[in-house]
């Protein structure tokens, strides 16, 4: 039996040498090509079979990446610049070119092997959360935004595309915030179809058409926008026509529909608007936009309306109420001249002529001329000695009277003056009660010729006075 | 090892390896690159299986002093590793067959194929469990058939071993090239 190892047999050794020779010949004829796993890209064709241009031997301190950068100086230049793709992507010294780039796949094969859809674009500072599809079903490609080079981005690209979406808005937006879109936008937040309600501050009324920058002035970062308080005064302090006099709760009266009309509930103020005050224009009382501190006394506004010309002071409310001047409820009894009896129903102007109220004399004669009935009979005597306000008659004369005033009456009653005195108090007659024809017949029968003056014989009207039979008075003169 | 079941076991082992390959394929959505972790691992393991068992088998076969294991078991182990190892090397190729690596893979295939033929010729000659021709059994064979079988076996050895030698020469050149130019592609 042959005890040599098989590999050391003559044939095996010949085979080894032949194989080694074949490798040597191949190396001489084709260089390192036999070690290549595939043809290089057309861009690398100059490298040929010089594997060492890219492949560092395992004992060398440098890596393949360093050898790539020997030629790719443009990438080397990007590495320190965070505005570039490689400057952003390559973090740390352990990054390698071959993590994304490949070779040996043929002259026209892609040199960059990465799933573009899965590319973590946010590491560049701009996430693609809102840029997944150009339109329903059509995804964005890298070239859509990186038109010239995948490693470059021109901010104008944003503006050009978004101008086609809303030209007017972009015009205003860029004027307000500038043209460097990426200075504010990081692609994470969705600003198109932005619902301001999400912030807790719904845009209503005029706020709907207000430019963002009108409130968010000089805001660029998200935090700048969020820093604006959702209060009226954070934007409208300068618009406050009340100059702070009403505090900062604008919403009590105003709404986003506009400053005017304001829905001010005056009844929340110290001065409630009642009656005719409710229909008065604000500026009638609040002149020059002055609201706070407006005096609440009537005279401040109604001085010109005072038809009493100040005679009654300034406490108008004593008589008047806001339902109208005419509806005054003057209590005349509070005056020096309480209205009693027939005075209650007398029209004011009967006494207060020419609307003069103050100083109206309280003497009866100021209004009541002495009647002819007793003209001049009671000089210096007050009417009230006989009369009451209930009526002129009956009057209550209690003064000296030669003839009993209770003549012909019973139970302490007295006769009315006019029972005897007709047509004035200076004249009198008995014939109101005593029939003149009967008196004449009786006195003629008695032979009394002159009986024209009854009192000469009947001074008190008593029975038996004057010799008569007392059947009714009369006298013999 | 189950005696006489080496082909079945090799087939099952290949199935398991193919399943793992399919798993990686499914998980990464890409053909495992020869230079990647998985591709390199199966390439190295496959080559080590090929190299070590072939060497050990050859040593055991020719050693006079060391008598570990019975020759029939060694042959079955040699056949098992001679199928599983090349299969792993085949998967290491990442379906690219150009250059030296392609040639090496081709030669691997040739050697494996020759191994199948050799096994067929080997069984023509009755042997003991130690791989030595069984005198009792060979005696009853027709002299011409035995002589043919012995001639074929000898011829086969003259082909199979030099083919293997050429294969390992190419394989080492491939490995050295890879080590030089692309050790873990640093």
The model's pLDDT over A355-406, given as tens digits with 9 standing for 90+, comes to 777 788 888 888 888 888 888 888 878 888 888 888 887 787 877 888 888 8
Q: Picking from A58-67, A270-279, A459-468, which range would have the lowest pLDDT averaged per residue? A: A459-468
Q: How many CB pairs under 8 A join A and B?
A: 87
- 3-state secondary structure (DSSP) of residue A262: coil
CB A472 within 8 A of CB A439: yes
**Cα–Cα distance for residue pair A133/A140, rounded to 1 Å:** 5
pLDDT, residue A86, reads 82
pLDDT, residue A237, reads 87
pLDDT at B90 over 90: yes
The tokens describing A284, both together, are 């009638």
Residue B60 belongs to a domain: yes
CB A47 within 8 A of CB A40: yes
Helix (H) or strand (E) holding A65: helix A64-71
The tokens describing A39, both together, are 């043809």
Residue B167 belongs to a domain: yes
Residue ranges per structural domain of chain A: 16-113, 115-193+208-228, 429-477
Find the closest chain B residue to A56 by CA distance: B181
pLDDT at A473 over 70: no
Q: What phi and psi, each to the nearest 5 degrees, are found at residue A101?
A: -105, 145
Which residues 77-116 of chain A have a CB within 8 Å of chain B? 98
Interface residue ranges in chain B relative to chain A, Cβ cutoff 8 Å: 34, 58-59, 61-62, 64, 96, 98-101, 103, 157-158, 161-166, 168-170, 173-174, 177-186
Closest CB from B96, B99, B162 relative to A15:
B162
Q: Which of A468, A420, A475, A470 is nearest to A453 (CA)?
A: A475
pLDDT in tens, A32-63: 888 888 889 998 999 988 888 888 887 888 88
pLDDT at B23 over 70: yes
Which 3-state string (H, E, C) describes A335-383? CCCCCCHHHHHCCHHHHCHHHCCCCCCCCHHHCCCCCHHHCCCCCCCCH
Q: How many folded domains does chain B comprise? A: 1
Residue B10 — pLDDT band, cuts 50, 70, 90? Answer: very high
pLDDT in tens, A71-114: 999 888 888 777 777 887 777 777 888 888 888 888 888 888 77
Who's near A2: CB < 8 A, 6+ residues apart?
A: A9, B62
Percent of the residues in chain B that have a pLDDT greater than 70, as a whole number: 91
Contacts of A57 in chain B (CB under 8 A): 180-181, 183
Inter-chain residue contact B165 with A7, CB threshold 8 Å: yes
Closest CB from B158, B164, B185 relative to A64:
B185
Per the structure, the complete domain to which residue B160 belongs is given by: 6-185
- Burial label for A118, CB within 10 Å (0-12, 13-18, 19+), is exposed
pLDDT at A471 over 60: no
Tell me how close the Cα of B9 comes to any Cα of chain A, in angstroms. 26
Inter-chain residue contact B180 with A7, CB threshold 8 Å: no
Cα distances from A164 to residues A32, A159, A160, B87, in angstroms, run 55, 9, 7, 59
Contacts of B168 in chain A (CB under 8 A): 7
Residue B81 — pLDDT band, cuts 50, 70, 90? Answer: very high
Going B108 to B113 to B115 to B116, the CA torsion angle's sign is positive
Residue B10 belongs to a domain: yes
Residue B35 belongs to a domain: yes
| Distance, C-alpha A182 to centroid of its chain | 39
Residue B128 belongs to a domain: yes
Who's near A56: CB < 8 A, 6+ residues apart?
A: A62, A63, A64, A66, A67, B186
DSSP code of A134?
A: E
pLDDT in tens, A316-368: 888 888 888 888 887 888 888 888 888 888 888 888 888 777 788 888 888 88
Inter-chain residue contact B98 with A2, CB threshold 8 Å: no
Residue B1 belongs to a domain: no
DSSP code of A3?
A: -
Inter-chain residue contact A15 with B177, CB threshold 8 Å: no
pLDDT at B7 over 60: yes
Contacts of A14 in chain B (CB under 8 A): 162
- 3-state secondary structure (DSSP) of residue A139: strand
The tokens describing A325, both together, are 């001047």
């Amino acid at each position: 039996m042959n005890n040599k190892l098989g590999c050391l047999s003559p044939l095996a050794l010949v085979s080894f040498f032949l194989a080694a020779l074949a490798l040597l010949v191949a190396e001489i004829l084709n260089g390192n090509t036999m070690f290549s796993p595939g043809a290089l890209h057309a861009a690398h064709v100059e490298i040929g079979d010089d594997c060492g241009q890219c492949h560092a031997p395992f004992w060398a301190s440098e890596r393949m990446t360093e050898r790539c950068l020997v030629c790719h100086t443009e990438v080397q230049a990007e590495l320190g610049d965070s505005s570039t793709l490689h400057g952003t992507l390559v973090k740390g010294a352990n990054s390698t070119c071959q993590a994304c780039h490949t070779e040996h796949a043929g002259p026209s094969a892609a040199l960059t092997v990465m799933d573009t859809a899965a590319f973590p674009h946010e590491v560049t500072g701009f996430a693609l959360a809102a840029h997944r599809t150009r339109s329903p079903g059509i995804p964005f490609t890298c070239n859509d935004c990186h038109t010239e080079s995948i490693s470059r981005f021109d901010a104008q690209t944003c503006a050009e595309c978004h101008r086609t979406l809303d030209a007017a808005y972009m015009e205003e937006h860029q004027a307000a915030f500038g043209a460097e879109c990426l200075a504010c936008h990081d692609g994470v937040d969705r600003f198109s179809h932005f619902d301001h309600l999400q912030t807790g501050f719904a845009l209503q009324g005029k706020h709907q058409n207000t430019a963002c920058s009108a409130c968010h002035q000089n805001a660029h970062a998200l935090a700048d926008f969020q820093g604006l308080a959702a209060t009226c005064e954070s934007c409208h302090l300068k618009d406050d026509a009340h100059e702070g006099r009403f505090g900062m709760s604008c919403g009590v009266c105003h709404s986003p529909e506009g400053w005017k009309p304001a829905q001010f509930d005056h009844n929340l103020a110290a001065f409630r608007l009642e009656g005719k005050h409710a229909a008065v224009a604000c500026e009638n009382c609040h002149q020059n936009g002055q609201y706070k501190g407006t005096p609440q006394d009537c005279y401040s506004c109604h001085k010109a309306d005072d038809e009493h010309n100040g005679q009654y002071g300034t406490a108008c409310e004593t008589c008047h109420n806001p339902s109208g001047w005419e509806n005054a409820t003057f209590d005349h009894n509070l005056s020096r001249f309480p209205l009693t009896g027939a005075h209650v129903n007398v029209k004011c102007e009967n006494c207060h002529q020419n609307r003069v109220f103050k100083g109206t004399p309280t003497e009866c004669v100021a209004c009541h001329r002495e009647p002819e009935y007793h003209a001049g009979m009671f000089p210096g005597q007050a009417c009230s000695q006989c009369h009451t306000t209930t009526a002129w008659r009956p009057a209550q004369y209690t003064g000296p009277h030669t003839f009993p005033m209770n003549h012909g009456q019973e139970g302490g009653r007295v006769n009315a003056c006019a029972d005897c005195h007709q047509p004035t108090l200076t004249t009198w007659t008995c014939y109101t009660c005593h029939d003149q024809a009967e008196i004449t017949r009786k006195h003629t029968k008695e032979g009394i010729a002159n009986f024209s003056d009854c009192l000469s014989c009947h001074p008190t009207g008593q029975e038996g006075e004057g010799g008569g039979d007392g059947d009714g008075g009369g006298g013999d003169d | 090892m189950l005696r006489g079941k080496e082909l079945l076991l090799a087939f099952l082992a290949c199935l398991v390896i193919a399943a793992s390959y399919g798993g990686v394929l499914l998980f990464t959505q890409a053909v495992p690159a020869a230079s990647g972790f998985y591709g390199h691992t199966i390439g190295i393991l496959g080559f080590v299986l090929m190299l070590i068992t072939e060497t050990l088998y050859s040593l055991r076969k020719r050693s006079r002093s060391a008598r570990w294991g019975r020759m029939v078991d060694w042959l079955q182990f040699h056949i098992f590793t001679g199928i599983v190892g090349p299969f792993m090397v085949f998967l290491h190729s990442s379906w690219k067959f150009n250059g030296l690596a392609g040639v090496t893979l081709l030669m691997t295939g040739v050697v494996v194929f020759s191994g199948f033929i050799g096994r067929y010729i080997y069984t023509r000659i009755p042997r003991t469990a130690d791989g030595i021709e069984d005198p009792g059994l060979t005696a009853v064979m027709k002299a011409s058939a035995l002589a043919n079988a012995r001639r074929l076996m000898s011829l086969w050895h003259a082909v199979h071993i030099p083919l293997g030698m050429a294969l390992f020469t190419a394989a080492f050149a491939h490995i050295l090239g890879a080590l030089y130019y692309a050790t873990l592609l640093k």
